[in-house]
Copies of this chain bind each other. A is one copy, B any other.
C-alpha cells in the first residue's frame, strides 16, 4: 500500500466510491456546522445526501466518527499536511501554523469554526481530543518524539496554542488578533509552536 492509499483509508475515503461519500461529507459538514452535533441525525444527513442511512454507517461508522471525518478533514489531509511533512525540523512550527491557518481561511473554514464551537458548547470533549491528537497532529508526532515519549506533551502544548488562536481569532474575534494579517499571526505564533515541538521541555 502506498502512503497515499494509506492516507485515504485513514481519512475514511476509498477510491472509486467518492461520489456518495463526498455527498455525505458535504451534507454532514453543513448540518453539523449549523445544528451542532446533538441535533444532527444520521438519518437526516442520509436523506439529504440521497443515500440510505445504513450506507452512512457503512462508510463512516458512528455519528461521532462521521463528525470527525466531516470536520477534521475538510480537504485532502495529504494536501494540507504535505508542507508540514516536507518541512525541515527547524521549520516545523512555521509550517504547521501555516497549514492550519490555511484551512481556517479556506472555503471550509466557517464549517470548522462552527463545528469546533458546537463541540465546546455540547461538551463532547472526547471528540475534540481525538480530533486534535489523532487527526491533526498524528502525522507529525513521530517526528517530534525526542526524547522518546515526549510527543503527546508536545502535541498537547501545540493544541493549547492553536485552539486558543482559533478561539480568539475566529470565534471570540478578539482584536487586534481577529484582524491581524495572516502573515503576522504566523510570524508571531511559529516560534511558540517550534519550541513546543522541538525545544527543551521542563
Contacts and interface: CB of A to CB of B under 8 A. Distances in A.
Interface size class of A (residues with CB under 8 A): 35 or more
Interface string A153-177: 1001101111111111101111111
B184 A202 contact: yes
Given A161-B164, A167-B164, A177-B160, A172 B121 contact: no
A132 B183 CA distance: 24
Given A120-B172, A192-B195, A153 B165 contact: no
Interface string A180-202: 10011001110110011000011
Interface in A117-135: 117, 120-121, 125, 128-129, 132-133
B176 A129 contact: no
Contacts of A168: 156, 159-160, 163
Copies of this protein chain in the complex:
2
A156 B172 contact: no
A152 interface: yes
B161 A160 contact: yes
B128 A174 contact: yes
Nearest to A125: B172
Contacts of A174: 125, 128-129, 132-133, 156, 159-160
Interface of A: 117, 120-121, 125, 128-129, 132-133, 152-153, 156-157, 159-169, 171-177, 180, 183-184, 187-189, 191-192, 195-196, 201-202
29 contacts: A117-B121, A120-B120, A120-B121, A120-B167, A120-B171, A128-B174, A129-B172, A129-B173, A152-B175, A153-B177, A153-B188, A156-B168, A156-B176, A156-B180, A157-B188, A159-B164, A159-B168, A159-B177, A160-B164, A160-B165, A160-B169, A160-B177, A162-B164, A163-B164, A163-B172, A167-B167, A183-B202, A188-B196, A191-B195
